[in-house]
Amino acid sequence: MSDDQFRSDYAHHLIEQVTSGKMTRRQLLVRASVFGFSATVAGQILAACGGSSSSSSSPSAAASGSALPAVVTGGTMKAVIPPPLKTLDPVTIYDQGGIVLVYQIAEYLIDLTNENALKPKLAVSWAPNPKGDVWTFKLRQGVTFNDGSPFEAADVVASIERVINPKSGSGALAALAGILSPGGTKAVDTSTVQFNLDKPFADFPYLVSASSYNTAILPRNYAGDFQKKAIGTGPWMLKSFVTNQSAKLVKNPTYWGKDAQGRQLPYLDELDFALVTDTSAANLQLQSGTVDVQPQTVFQGGQSLLSDSSLRVDVYPSTGIREVAFNVNKTPWQSKELRQAVAYCLDRKAINQALYGGRSNLGYDTFWEPTVFPGSPTPPVRAVDIAKAKSLLATAGHPNGIDVTLTVANYLENPAYAQLIQAQCKPAGINVKINEISYNAIYAGSNSTTPWLNAPMVIVEWGSRPTPGVYAQAMLLPTSAWSSSHWNNSAFVTAFNQYESTTDEATRATLATKLSSIQQDETPILVAFYISQLRTQKKNVYNIQGPGSFYFDTSQAYITA
């Protein structure tokens, strides 16, 4: 049966879901986007369910104050971000600095809306076969790379094959492992690409979207010298890059993007990034007016920004987390009880209060967090319970307490988080020694040596991920390359495979419940909160798009006098 046949069937399915109350409108829009329904089609479906087609208003717009002033073209916007940790290369980037810079220059098949819904970028539409193991993407026409060469299917094939090539050392490899194998990507014609998956995968579009940031589309002949010769189809071109100092971008005159009024994007002429590791230095630059915007503001030390009249702080319901991973292969974390004990020590409200001024959503050590991911089950709340923790500790064989080491990067709010964990575990007799190392150091080395994947207990910061599946795929499966916990739970794996292969929302819901309960019970990692992220900009900076810090879409941003 044809894709269109599938589409109509799926549309009906969605309508049922909504009318039977199994799904909210917002969810419907999100799911619809996954299956390549354009916003208008989605609107029609919604209408069919008998409701308004108005999608919820963009939080950034809300934060920016509903009414935007008239667009001003030209000018330079200065932003401050942490410097890229490694040489700039879309294939291997994994840190905020790198991702944000690449995001300006190169583009993805699919981008994310402020609600983490998918939106067409280099791909104008996409649809799976009924089984869901073959996905066909239609590409945007008339797009050229900033060196003038045309953008065609071959480039997409090359880019995807590049990242799933084991030699590439790309993070996407982990995300796509067991889903898309080398040779699975075919160019049907110059403007159509077909992905033949190893197994049906409902969330596949996410894996080739901006949320899988290594899948940026580069020309087929890309040589890995992005930092020298930054090539992409994006709105910006790299003019200069000074390690640990600055990156200067100028607008790409041949950019395909146009705004609603058909004006050429981007509005700005130049985009300057100051590369600053030190949080307080970065904040100071904002306050002294040296820079216009900070994509990710840390609440720690950011208090003064919040109260600064010259600045506007947007709050994003991002899905970023601070993963506290227990390496289940390393003593003492083989013991499930011990892991749970720690979980019961945490006073999540207090942590949320201290680290985010209470802004974030509490997490329950699972990815299926209802307030963040629609359709997730509502897991039992894990409140502080020292007594329980103690007894668990005893069953784990440490009645008189235990000493553990927590490795943490001196970055963002991690040190503070670590100290809170330390203080909250003490009453239960868990003495946490904090091993604080530098941001670079924790990610240094190969997978077999790097601290963040090998320390017994470690805090890892994760930027926004659009679905629980993407998270699980990236860090909780034996195949995950970014599994700091090295957790290997067959029940979870099988359940997860079913979950991702099925398109039936009801089944997905039940599986989600199962998955989340397994995850919470086993507690391979702690997820104490889903961070509401802060983006700080001057009052006269408008219309920066994208959810969370990674997706820093400046193509429609502008600065008024």
Partner 1 sequence: MARLIGRRLLLMVPTLILVSILVFALAEVLPGNLGRFILGPYATQSAVDQLNHNLGMDKPIYTRYVEWAGHFVTGHWGTSYQYTTSVFPLVMRALGNSLLLAGFALVIIVPTSILVGVYAGLRRDSILDRAITISSLSMTVIPEFVSGVILIVVFAVTLHWLPVQAMPPQGSPFIDRFYYLILPAIPLMLLELGYIARMARVGTVQVLNMPYVRTAVLKGLPRRRVIFGHVLRNALVPTVTVIGSQIGWLIGGLVVVETLFNYPGIGNYMVNAALNHDLPLLEACVLVVAVLYMLSNLIADIVVAFLNPRIRMGG
Partner 2 sequence: MAAAGTTPDRRLDELQADAAAAAEQRRQRRYLVRSLLRSPTFVVGVLIVLFWVVMGVFSTTFTQPPALPHPFAILQSPSASHWFGTDDLGRDVFARTMAGAHTVLIIAPLATVLALLWGGMVGLTAGFYRGLTDDLMMRVVDAFLALPIIITAILIISLLGRSYAILILVIGALFTPVISRTIRSAVIGEREREYVMAARLRGERSAFVMAREILPNITQPIIVEGTVRLGYAVFTVATLSFLGFGLEPPSPDWGLTVATERLNLQAAPWTVLFPALALASLVVGVNLIADGLSSTFSK
Q: C-alpha distances in angstroms, 443 versus 385, 436, 513?
A: 33, 13, 33
Nearer to partner 1, 297 or 519 (CB): 297
- Could you please report the per-residue DSSP string of 299-333? STTTHHHHT-TTEEEEEEEEEEEEEEEE-TTSTTT
Q: Give me the least distance between CB of 287 and partner 2, in Å please.
A: 7
Q: Give which of partner 1, partner 2, none residue 300 binds (C-beta under 5 to 8 Å, depending on kind).
A: partner 2
Task: Count Cβ atoms below 10 Å from residue 399 Cβ, excluding itself.
Answer: 12
Nearer to partner 1, 53 or 87 (CB): 87
Q: Give me the least distance between CB of 534 and partner 2, in Å please.
A: 14
* Segment interacting with partner 2 (CB under 8 A) among 123-131, 148-156, 434-442, 485-493: 434-442
Selected binder of partner 2 within 52, 54, 261, 307 (CB under 8 A): 307
- Could you please report the per-residue DSSP string of 54-76? PPPPPHHHHHT-SSPPPP----E
Q: Give me the least distance between CB of 519 and partner 1, in Å please.
A: 25
Q: Give which of partner 2, partner 1, none residue 448 binds (C-beta under 5 to 8 Å, depending on kind).
A: partner 1
DSSP code for 286: H
Contact residues: partner 1, CB under 8 A? 86-87, 240, 242-246, 248, 272, 274, 276-278, 281, 284-285, 287-290, 437-438, 440-441, 444-446, 448-451, 453-455
Q: Give me the least distance between CB of 442 and partner 1, in Å please.
A: 9
Near partner 2 in 443-482, by CB under 8 A: none
Nearer to partner 2, 8 or 303 (CB): 303
Rounded to the nearest 10°, the torsion over CA 31, 34, 38, 42 is -10
Selected binder of partner 2 within 64, 209, 212, 279 (CB under 8 A): 279
Nearer to partner 1, 64 or 96 (CB): 96
Q: Give which of partner 1, partner 2, none residue 422 binds (C-beta under 5 to 8 Å, depending on kind).
A: partner 2
> Residues 408-427 vs partner 2: string with x where CB under 8 A?
--x----xx-xxx-xx----
In single-letter form, the type of residue at position 110 comes to I
Q: How far apart are CA 109 and CA 194, in angstroms?
A: 13
Selected binder of partner 2 within 33, 116, 283, 533 (CB under 8 A): 283
Selected binder of partner 2 within 19, 56, 149, 304 (CB under 8 A): 304
Q: Give me the least distance between CB of 437 and partner 1, in Å please.
A: 8
Q: How far apart are CA 427 and CA 53, in angstroms?
A: 52
Q: For the chain, how far is it from start to end, CA to CA, in angstroms?
A: 56
Selected binder of partner 2 within 58, 125, 287, 502 (CB under 8 A): 287
Q: How far apart are CA 109 and CA 117, in angstroms?
A: 14
* Segment interacting with partner 2 (CB under 8 A) among 140-148, 256-264, 350-358, 376-384: 350-358
Q: Give me the least distance between CB of 330 and partner 1, in Å please.
A: 9
Give the distance from CA 197 to its chain's centroid. Answer: 22
Contact present, 42 and 28 (Cβ < 8 Å): yes
Nearest CA among 154, 205, 163 for reference residue 182: 163
Longest dimension (CA), the chain: 70
Contact present, 273 and 294 (Cβ < 8 Å): no
Q: Give which of partner 1, partner 2, none residue 445 binds (C-beta under 5 to 8 Å, depending on kind).
A: partner 1
Q: Give me the least distance between CB of 438 and partner 1, in Å please.
A: 4
Nearer to partner 2, 87 or 353 (CB): 353
Contact present, 141 and 448 (Cβ < 8 Å): no
Q: Give me the least distance between CB of 407 and partner 2, in Å please.
A: 12
User: How many residues bind partner 2, per CB under 8 A?
Assistant: 26
Selected binder of partner 2 within 220, 436, 510, 513 (CB under 8 A): 436
* Tokens standing for residue 349: 């409200």
Nearest CA among 41, 2, 49 for reference residue 22: 49
Q: How far apart are CA 266 and CA 282, in angstroms?
A: 25
Contact present, 208 and 215 (Cβ < 8 Å): yes
Q: Give me the least distance between CB of 310 and partner 2, in Å please.
A: 13
Q: Where does residue 270 rank: exposed (0-12), middle (13-18), buried (19+ CB within 10 A)?
A: middle
Q: Where does residue 350 rank: exposed (0-12), middle (13-18), buried (19+ CB within 10 A)?
A: middle
Is 385 a binder of partner 2 (CB under 8 A)? no
Nearer to partner 1, 68 or 281 (CB): 281
Nearest CA among 57, 66, 163, 29 for reference residue 108: 163
* Tokens standing for residue 184: 């699975």
The C-alpha angle with vertex 282 and arms to 297 and 59, in degrees rounded to 5, equals: 25
* Tokens standing for residue 337: 């009880």
Nearer to partner 2, 308 or 337 (CB): 308
Q: Give me the least distance between CB of 274 and partner 1, in Å please.
A: 7
Q: How far apart are CA 545 and CA 61, in angstroms?
A: 9
* Segment interacting with partner 2 (CB under 8 A) among 166-174, 251-259, 345-353, 530-538: 345-353
Q: Give me the least distance between CB of 82 and partner 1, in Å please.
A: 11
Q: Give me the least distance between CB of 89 and partner 1, in Å please.
A: 10
Residues facing 150 on adjacent strands? 144
Q: How far apart are CA 324 and CA 51, in angstroms?
A: 42
Q: Give me the least distance between CB of 300 and partner 1, in Å please.
A: 16
Q: What are the backbone angles phi and psi of residue 120, rounded to the nearest 5°?
A: -60, 140
Nearer to partner 2, 254 or 287 (CB): 287
Q: Give which of partner 2, partner 1, none residue 451 binds (C-beta under 5 to 8 Å, depending on kind).
A: partner 1
Nearer to partner 2, 377 or 429 (CB): 429
Q: How far apart are CA 172 and CA 213, in angstroms?
A: 8
Residues in contact with partner 2 by CB under 8 A are 279-280, 283, 287, 300-301, 303-304, 307, 347, 350-351, 353-354, 410, 415-416, 418-420, 422-423, 434-436, 438
